[in-house]
Amino acid sequence: MNSSAETLLITLSGQDRPGVTAAVFTALSAHDAEVLDIEQIVARGHLTLAVLLDVTRCDLAAIQASMADVGASTGLDVRTVVGAPERSNDAAGRLTVTVLGSPLRPDAMAAIAGRVAEHDVNIDRIRRIAAYPVTAIVFEGTGLRVEELRAVLAAEAADLGVDIAVQRGGAMKRGQLLVVMDVDSTLIQDEVIDLLARAAGVEEQVAAITQSAMRGEIDFTESLTQRVSALAGLPASVIDDVRKQVRLSPGARTLCRTLRNFGFRVCLVSGGFDAVIRPIAEELGIDELRANHLEIVDGHLSGRVVGEIIDRAGKRRALEEFAALYAIPMSRTVAIGDGANDLDMLAAAGLGVAFNAKPAVRSVAHAAVNVPYLDSVLYLLGITRDEVEAVQ
């Protein structure tokens, strides 16, 4: 637009009815104006239509009179502002704040809006993208202090009883995307090693080793080695029995199906065991799986893991290798996990989501989801509930 151009912002509001937009532009067609921008929102039957014009070559009073006639004929309130600026198209300054609540209460919204304003974010639009299984609201605006705002809202989310994600741009769902998920306690509700330990009658022994690792006394590799050693002699046929006990997290099927229908790549990376996970991955249409491999000798578990052990560093490496395999930039990757083993992967991804995770994991992730519905992650990608249902 010519910097010397004169602009006119026309705003019509009132009860929605068919033909309003046609009436506005039919009236404007009699004038030598240029359309610069249009926004229209209908909320509960109430219409707000805003049109920004370049009126440099126009009789301004004549346009205003035409719009007054449109208002009279449609019963809408019409207001005009001369010299209104265009909205910013600076992609670097665009951001979205996604809020998930079950329920979502006014005090939480008040606190979030206050923090957004304190960080110099101008809110352009607020919209609901889902009503269930959680209420999901998206603030869209312009601001540059994304990391500061994210840190503040993440710290307050638990007290407010909501999950909050702050992201740049808000265009995650456009173009190719890679989503990499942890398995145990993320894609599924169970810990596979615990199910195997129960079948072997060594549940308490394995739990003690797990607790030792959680206290930092041994690292993940040593912990895994000791726990698998306790399974030595277990018939391999038990693996099929254990697989039948595995429970998918609520919303896991919907998440995977929706991501696939949007054309995204979906991969799994796990410190668990491929013999249990692979059939589940195939059922869900997963593109790639990286997990540990249990050695089987003469039809029984040997108590050893063969090949590379998938630990914290291995999970990040898998994310990077999957991205390279599908030629997807790291900025367009999403990692989802719950444990300390996922920290490096969450930090490396374009969007790291802590799913029902401990505070230490939530503090590192870009976003946290603390409701039990895994498909709520879709809302962080800007995918609405209507779009989820449309591709089922």
pLDDT in tens, 369-382: 999 999 999 999 98
DSSP-derived 3-state class of residue 22: helix
pLDDT category, 84, cuts 50, 70, 90? Answer: confident
Tokens of 364: 């590192």
Q: How many CB atoms lie within 10 A of CB 284?
A: 18
CATH for 178-390, among 3.30.465.10, 3.40.190.10, 3.40.630.30, 3.40.50.1000?
3.40.50.1000
For the domain made up of 7-82, the CATH class stated in words is alpha beta
240 is catalytic: no
Encode 236-269: b = buried (16+ Cβ within 10 Å), e = exposed.
eebbeebbeebebbbbbebbbbbbbebebbbbbb
Q: What is the pLDDT of residue 155?
A: 82
> Domain spans of the chain?
7-82, 91-168, 178-390
Tell me whether domains 7-82 and 91-168 share a fold: yes
Q: 3 pLDDT exceeds 50? A: no
In which order are the strands placed within the sheet that holds 178-181? 122-130, 135-142, 94-101, 162-168, 367-369, 351-355, 333-337, 178-181, 265-273, 288-297, 300-306
Encode 5-43: b = buried (16+ Cβ within 10 Å), e = exposed.
eebbbbbbbbebeeebeebbeebbeebebeebeeeeeee
Q: Which of 205-214, 278-287, 326-335 has the lowest mean pLDDT?
A: 205-214
344 is catalytic: no
Q: How many CB atoms lie within 10 A of CB 325?
A: 13
Which of these is catalytic: 16, 54, 163, 182?
182
For residue 101, give Cα distances in angstroms to 133, 138, 166, 202.
9, 12, 15, 40
pLDDT category, 2, cuts 50, 70, 90? Answer: very low
CATH for 91-168, among 3.30.70.260, 3.90.1170.50, 3.40.30.10, 3.30.1490.100?
3.30.70.260
301-347: per-residue pLDDT in tens? 999 999 999 999 999 999 999 999 999 999 999 999 999 899 999 99
Which of these is catalytic: 16, 184, 274, 375?
184
More confident call, 85 vs 64: 64
